[in-house]
Every structure is written in C-alpha cells, then in structure tokens.
Structure 1
Amino acid sequence: MVARQPLIRPERYGFFDKLLFAVFVLFLPPLLASKPGLFGDGDVSWHVAAGRWILQNRAIPTTDPFSFTMAGHPWIAHEWLSEVIYASAFDFAGFAGLAAIVALAVTALHWIVFAHLRKRVGPVATLVSFLALDLILAKFMLARPHVLVWPLLALWTSLLLDYRDKEQVPPLWFALLVTVWTNLHGSFPIAWIVAAPIALDAVMSARWSRPVLLGWLTFGIASVLAMLLNANGLTQLLLPLNILGMKSVYLIQEWNPSSPSISPLFYVVLLGTLAVVMLRGAKLRLGETLLLLFLLGWAFSQIRHQSWLVIVATMVLAPHLTGERAAEPLFPDKRVRRLWAGGALAVVALLALLRLWVPFEPKHSQTTPQQLLAHVPAEMRREAVLNGYNFGGPLILAGIKPYIDGRADMYGDAFVLEWWDIVSGDMPKFDRAVRKYDIRWTLLSPKEPLVKQLDASPQWRRYYSDKVGVIHVRR
C-alpha cells in the first residue's frame, strides 16, 4: 500500500485557485444552465403550473386540479416550494427565468464544493473533482426541483464533516436546513442517510463518549422533527417509500437500474475513482465507507440516484485521494476577502440577470411541444384527450386537462400500467377508456404502437402530425 506524502504547494497555485474559482463557480454554471436539454422533461411544465396554482389560490392543493381522469383525487404537492420558485421565474421571464434559477442553484453548489475542497485538497485534486462532478450531473441538469436541493445536500454534508473533524456536535438550528429541503424535494430522507454514518464516525472518534453520543442523537431527533415542518405532515415523510414501492415507475428511464449503455460517463468516472482509490491506498472511516457503499448501491439500482452519490462522494472521498496539502486562505486579509466575495457575488448576480435577459426558447420536442399545441383549436382543448406521458406536463401548462402526466404517485400503479397497455396498442382497453372518459382526441408520440392502430381505425382520423407528435380525432 502506498502511503500518501503531502506535497508543498508552489506559490503559483494561488493563481490556479483563483482561476478554478472563476471557471467552475462563476462562469460554468450559467453555461450548464443554457444547455438545450434543460427542459427535456415533461415534469418541468406541470411543476410550473402547480406553482402558478399555489400563487393564484394562496394555498397548497390537496386534490388534483389538473387532470380529468383524477379530478378531485387526493394529491400531495410535496415540492410546493420549488414549484413556487419556478413559477415565479417563468412568469417573470419565461424559459429564460427557469434557466436563471437553475444557474443560481448550480452556482451555489459549485461554490460550496469549492469552499469545502479548498480547505482539504490542492488545486489539481479540485480540478479533477469538478470535472468528475459535472460529467455526472450534466445528465440530470433539468429545470426540476431536485436541482434546487443539490446545494443543500452539499452544504449539509460539508458542515456535518466540519463538525465531525472539529470534534463538535452540530447546533440544533442547523437541522432547519432539512425543513427547507423537505418542502423543496422528496429526496429529504438522504439527509438522514448522510448524517447517520458521519455521526457514527464522530462518536467512534470520541470513543463512544456519552456527551458526544447524546449530542449527535439529539441533533438527529431535531432533524426528524424538522422534516415534520411541511405542508403535509407525516404523510409527506411516507411518500418516498410509497413511490419506491410502485411497479410502474420502472416505465420511466430515470427509475431504471444504471447500465453502461444508458450512462457510460458514470461508469467511466466510477472506474477512474476506484483506480485512484487503489493506487493511493485511501483509508476511509467506517461511516464514510458505509455511506459511499449505500449510495453506490442506490445509484446502481436507479439512475436518478447517481447525482446524490457524486455530490456526497466529492465531499467525502476527494480529501482521501490526494497527496496535495490544503492551501492557506485564498485571501488571508479579511478586508480583501470580503471585497473579493462581494465582487464574486456581483458577478453571479450580473450573469443571472444576463441569463434572464437573453431569450431562451427550447426546441420543439415532446417536453416543449409549442408548435404541436398551436394546432389544437380552442373547442378541442376543452374535450378529453388521451396523451403520451411526456405530453402531460405541457398540456397542463397550456391549460388542457391531460389523461396522465408525470405525477405517477397520484395516478397509482393500476392506472399507469393500464395506460401503458393502451398506448402499446391494446385496443379493447383503449375502447373502454374512450367510453369511460368520452375521449375525443389523442396526442401521442409517432413511435407509440397505438398510433398505427388509430391510423387503421375507421373511427379515428389523423388530424395533424409532425416529427414530435401525432393528433388523432374521433369521427
């Protein structure tokens, strides 16, 4: 096993640190938030619509206000805070507003990661860590609620590690971060998953000291209570478990197991990291090992969990993989440091305003089918439609009630699986749905088998089609 030997940092690394900060914290996030696929998910639209509903009604919905198939059915709007943020941005500046919010969230994430790494590793390790981080996160960079909790996850992990290393117990007020997290996104159980192993390492380092054990236990209880401060109470805490137990979620790609064919970059980064771990002879603490193994297994089980793994692994693992000594403060003088921090915040604000000002119209696609919906006349918009899954969110944002949308937890397994059979060409089930809901038109992807069935049916005629979608109307 090769022992790590700290290296003396040359003075020129000070310039390298500033360059890394400028590139990865100030200028890269707005570029990442301008990528064409930022709106490549139908959920973006219904999240905006939900935020609009909350702002207009000054309340959080408890039943479905959007679809005709589940009208009045109980619905937990558990990501209401994210939806209000996105709706406000969209109403202010359209899709450019959504991109600006994503840019700010990614900037905050990068700033926190940079601050965490700079106290622990040198600039080369920081550069490699950011490259690995962004290679994985780019796939998940969408204008959806999960992006808003990325900086919270990084901050939560960083501060817990800081308190562990200082042999201190986190203050109870710090648990309020979990309250914000719980109302932003349904991934809040990750706060427990991260905190428990770090607490284990802290208690073991203190030789199971009673005060330390009770301190971390009290903080854990405070974190649980903080999660209860949400719009739905205990019901919201059980929602992630209910979603994980659904069979139909595997019809959605992000819920499928990871594989090299779907996410090759994840495996490239993973294999590279494992190689460095073996070459450096990294020695992780027990809690750190358990944490990374759990998140790795989670990422293998479902693609969507890769983002949580790479953020936490960057914070936990990077300091064990480098021989570079951490730097002195980037600006030792406090006054200079405050001036530079203020200047950096001003640059972030300027770039965010620029992102708001520059128009950002997404290309015509199933998740942003503006051209397709423009061909739907007003009278047809009021009639029942059977739609493809990705079209559900855009229909809601356009004021059209869908058959189904991205809220699979509300629709339930039976409904989603039956819809899947219908669009896969099961005509008896389709006919039953037509009679039950009085469906007058359909909006489907050209690749759906049902499209060919409708083309051949004398009861339906093709009304309009393009490369994104096909509209049929009932004769």
Structure 2
Amino acid sequence: MLSRKYHSRDFLWLSIALMPLIGIALLLEIQPQDFWWLMRVGQETVQNGAVPIIDTISWSQAGRPIVYQPWLAGVILYLIYNVGGITCIFLLRGILIAITYGMIWVMARDVSNARLATILVFILGIASANNWSVRSQLPAYPLFVFCLWSLLHWQNGNKKYLWVLPVVTLLWANLHGSFILPFVLTGAAFFFGKGERKTLAFALGLMFLATLINPQGISVWKYIVFMLNSPSDHWFAFEWAPPSNVGWQMNIFFAWLLAFAPLAAFSPRKLSMLEWVWFLGFGWLALSGLRYVIWFHILLAIFTAVFLSEWAKRLVQPTQTFPTLNYGFGIFMLTIPLIFLPGLRERWMGDSVSVYEMSTTPLSATEWLAQHPHACSNLWADYAFGGYLSFALPSCKPWMDSRFNAYPPDQWSEYVQVSRAEDWQEMFDREGINLLLLSTAGQPKLVGAVSESNLWCEEYHDEYAVIFSRCEAK
C-alpha cells in the first residue's frame, strides 16, 4: 500500500500543494482568545522556573488553583516571541502547517500519486485553515499526522517507526489536552490492525509512561476528564458545539463527507478494517464537536486518496524529468510565501493586511490604560480583550478573560447577560467594578446602555473599544 520511491517531480508537486497553504498561514490574523494568555503562562514559567498553579491573570479568581496542561506551548511561544517578535510567531505557524500538510501529502501520495495528493491537500488546506489559530492545538497537528504515518507503516508490516509514538505522546502531553488521540489511534490499531501486536503493545506502554513526564505527573489524566466535563467549555465555547453547514469551509467539509459514501461504494480499492474504525470513530467525534473536525478531515483526505488511486493511475506520467530544475523551482515556490511575513509584507502591501484581529485586540485602548495605571482598578472587560491584557498589560487584571475553564459557568452566564445589557448596573455595583473596557463589535448593546447612563463617563473611544470609568470616582 505504501510506495517508497520518490522522484524530483514529486517534490515539485509537493511544493505546489504547500506554497498556497504556507501563504495563507502567514496571512491569517492573530486571534487573541488562546494566544495571549498562553504567552503569559509561558512568561511566568520561564521567569519563575515553574508552571503557575494559581490564577494570576484575573482579579475575580485571583489565587484560585488552576492547571495549565499546555504549559510547554506557552513556553515555546513566549521564547520565540522574545527572539523574533510576532514575525517569528507567524514563521512558526507556517512551519507547523508545512510539516502537517506535507506529511498528509506524503501519505496521500503513497497510496495514489503526486498530482492527486496535491489536489487533495490543497482542498483540505483551504477547508481547514479556520483551525490554524496560533494556540496550543496548532503543534498537535503535526504530532497527529506523525502518529498516523507511523501506524500506517505498522499496518503494512513495517514496525521500525513505532518509536515515533512515545516521542510524540511525550510532547503532546505537555502541549495540548488532546493527547488522548494517539491512544485512540494506537488502541484501534492494536485491536483492528494487521501489524505485529506485541511490539505495538510495548509502544502503548511507553506512550502511557511518556504522559507521566510533565509537571502534573499522573494528574495530567485528570485534566482530560476535567476538560471533557467542563460545563464552562461545553456551554459557552462554540468549538465544543456540533458543526453546522454554515460558511464555505464547512460546505466543503459536508460535501466531502457526503461524497465519501459513493466513493467507497464504487471504488475498486477498499479500506481496511482499521481504517474504517478510524473513519467511524473520528467521524462521530467530528459530528459531535467542531473542535474535532480537523482530525477527521485529515483522515478523509488520506482515505479519499485510497479510493481514487485507481483513477489516478490513468493519468499520463511524464516521460522526461529534470531533477535540478524540479528541485530548484520547488524550493523557490516554498520560499515565495515568506514575502507575506509581518515586517516584510508592509514594504509592498502597506497596512492592507492586519497582523492582529483588530476587533478583538485592543491595541490603542491598552496603550491608554498603560498611560493611566491609576485607572486600572476592578476592571470589567470584554473576554477577548481580557485575554490580550493578560500578556500586554499584566498589571491591569480583568474580571475575566478567554480561559473558559478558568471560570465557573455562573460567572460566564453573568458575563453573557451583562454583555447583552441586562441587569448590568446591579452587577457592576455588586462586584465593585470601577472601569469598563468594552468591545464595540461584541457588546454594542452594553456600550449604548453605558453611554446613556449618567453614572459612567467615557474616557477613551476608538473604532474597536470604549473605556468608561465611574463618574463619581473622577
């Protein structure tokens, strides 16, 4: 099933697939929800030599115990940011996307050919680019595909790559809470695969031991249980909700899923029992929660390559190749997207493409707060704004931020209610709120209600944010 012979033209096709995807990765804005607080965790971990175990970001939950399982992702982001600023953060995303989709291309090419792999990876890339936010899940993508690659080799009788599994699990257990996924893949392989099970069982044991190498030890498994049962995440974070066929990217996903049935029925190539188990298991996950769609989408692309492999053989292969030209042009195409890096693109694109998602990243409002530190007392802010403040201005602690599981569901319910301008004054009085940092895009009703109140005075206003303080405090 796995072809190992590669040619220079294969590298050229790989470059054609990756060039637009790397370009997209370098153009996507930084979204603040998980990025800035992760950077704050990384900063505190590096400076203190230990992962924070209590909340130091908000004032409403200050001193409460908290677990930062993805601490390593925060440390990596913080160190890279310190070395090269936001430009290196974008470069890191481009590299991770290139590795992830490059490995998917390899697996698709191994069961079909280079051109079909290029088409499938390109479609997969544009359909899943909405999952490329810089967050702890991003480095988990290449880890997932390396697990898949190792197990597909094992399935075909080659067990020499099983060492990848415990190494990947060691990293994953410190990067993102989805580190249970390699166990799902490998456990299914053990029961339904065709490879040698004794060595795979040994690899599974090493994988479990690898998860214990983290600041929480075996308690890291409690984090998974906590996340899977966290009402704050499940009730208020949209990524935990089932996917809906809204937007062109989800249109592609559901169309691909619907097309999979006739492909499976009419293709002369068939999936193995293990591949069907993976398909059904990850398909169920994807349809139960938006956050799982990308894992299933990766499998869809590889299995589609299997079904279309016989058709792909009919494509005429070139009889002449020019290795030097192929490699040279391929490398050139892979370097072209670098012109989209922040710091370079402004020279020829101006400010037409934002580095940050401006509607959720209050750059100018935060500068005002930094210039008025005395005003930053008992701050109530838009939750995304709070995420940005956690790193950009740690001295200005918000009532809450974008760490969904750091706050009880009652607090999130109250946040949603106040953002809708319902009983907001009573809540601000009860909590002793003195300063507001509101989003014009996310909280227009609250901005309007506070503007009409004679108890609050506007201190700052721009296109994205408004700052109010209590008039009697002036």
- Could you state the TM-score of these two structures normalised by the residue count of structure 2? 0.84
* Partner residue, 1:264: 251
Task: Tell me the distance in 2 between the aligned counterparts of 1:125 and 1:364.
Answer: 35
Task: Tell me the distance in 1 between the aligned counterparts of 2:164 and 2:149.
Answer: 16
Distance 1:299 1:139, change over 3 A: same
* Partner residue, 1:435: 430
* Partner residue, 1:300: 287
* Partner residue, 2:351: none
What displacement does 1:241 show? 2.7
Q: For residue 55 of structure 2, give the secondary structure of its aligned residue in structure 1.
A: coil
Distance 1:69 1:415, change over 3 A: same
Select which of 121, 139, 146 maps to 1:148.
Answer: 139
Preserved contact between residue 170 and residue 211 of structure 2 (Cα < 8 Å):
yes
**Aligned pair count?**
445
**Correspondence list, 1:447-458, <5 A:** 447-448=442-443, 449-458=445-454
Task: Tell me the distance in 2 between the aligned counterparts of 1:44 and 1:354.
Answer: 20
Preserved contact between residue 54 and residue 64 of structure 2 (Cα < 8 Å):
yes
Select which of 330, 355, 365 maps to 2:358.
Answer: 365
Distance 1:167 1:16, change over 3 A: closer
Distance 1:15 1:233, change over 3 A: closer
Preserved contact between residue 178 and residue 191 of structure 1 (Cα < 8 Å):
yes
* Partner residue, 1:28: 20
Select which of 108, 111, 119 maps to 1:128.
Answer: 119
What displacement does 1:473 show? 1.3
With 439-448 and 188-197 compared, the bigger mean Cα shift is at: 439-448
Distance 1:345 1:271, change over 3 A: same
Q: For residue 375 of structure 1, give the secondary structure of its aligned residue in structure 2.
A: helix
Residues 12-35 of structure 1 deviation map (CA, whole Å, 9 limit, x = unaligned):
x9565232122224x334312222
Task: Tell me the distance in 1 between the aligned counterparts of 2:447 and 2:378.
Answer: 17
With 268-277 and 57-66 compared, the bigger mean Cα shift is at: 268-277
Select which of 458, 469, 472 maps to 2:468.
Answer: 472
Please tell me the residue identity of whatever aligns with 1:99: F
Distance 1:422 1:356, change over 3 A: closer
Distance 1:133 1:271, change over 3 A: same
* Partner residue, 2:411: 415
Preserved contact between residue 457 and residue 468 of structure 2 (Cα < 8 Å):
yes
What displacement does 1:357 show? 5.3
What displacement does 1:151 show? 0.8
Task: Tell me the distance in 2 between the aligned counterparts of 1:200 and 1:341.
Answer: 42
What displacement does 1:248 show? 3.0
1:393 is aligned to 2:384: no
Percent identical across equivalent pairs? 20
Residues 220-249 of structure 1 deviation map (CA, whole Å, 9 limit, x = unaligned):
222122112112122222223322323332
What displacement does 1:462 show? 2.8
Task: Tell me the distance in 2 between the aligned counterparts of 1:200 and 1:69.
Answer: 48
Q: For residue 361 of structure 2, give the secondary structure of its aligned residue in structure 1.
A: coil
Task: Tell me the distance in 2 between the aligned counterparts of 1:198 and 1:451.
Answer: 54
Preserved contact between residue 40 and residue 390 of structure 2 (Cα < 8 Å):
yes
What displacement does 1:465 show? 2.7
Residues 322-366 of structure 1 deviation map (CA, whole Å, 9 limit, x = unaligned):
214599xx9xxxxx99xx999989997897698475267525623
Distance 1:433 1:233, change over 3 A: farther
Distance 1:353 1:261, change over 3 A: closer
1:86 is aligned to 2:70: no
| Runs of 5+ unmatched residues, structure 1 | 1-5, 7-12, 207-211, 331-335
1:226 is aligned to 2:210: yes
Task: Tell me the distance in 2 between the aligned counterparts of 1:350 and 1:472.
Answer: 46
With 276-285 and 438-447 compared, the bigger mean Cα shift is at: 276-285
Preserved contact between residue 437 and residue 465 of structure 2 (Cα < 8 Å):
yes
| Runs of 5+ unmatched residues, structure 2 | 347-353
With 456-465 and 349-358 compared, the bigger mean Cα shift is at: 349-358
Task: Tell me the distance in 1 between the aligned counterparts of 2:115 and 2:211.
Answer: 38
Preserved contact between residue 189 and residue 274 of structure 2 (Cα < 8 Å):
yes
- Could you state the TM-score of these two structures normalised by the residue count of structure 1? 0.84
Preserved contact between residue 122 and residue 326 of structure 1 (Cα < 8 Å):
no
* Partner residue, 2:239: 254
* Partner residue, 1:10: none
Preserved contact between residue 173 and residue 214 of structure 2 (Cα < 8 Å):
yes
Task: Tell me the distance in 2 between the aligned counterparts of 1:196 and 1:364.
Answer: 40
Q: For residue 26 of structure 2, give the secondary structure of its aligned residue in structure 1.
A: coil
Preserved contact between residue 113 and residue 315 of structure 1 (Cα < 8 Å):
yes
* Partner residue, 1:9: none
Preserved contact between residue 14 and residue 114 of structure 2 (Cα < 8 Å):
no
The Cα RMSD (Å) is: 3.2
Q: For residue 437 of structure 2, give the secondary structure of its aligned residue in structure 1.
A: strand
What displacement does 1:159 show? 0.7
Q: For residue 183 of structure 1, give the secondary structure of its aligned residue in structure 2.
A: coil
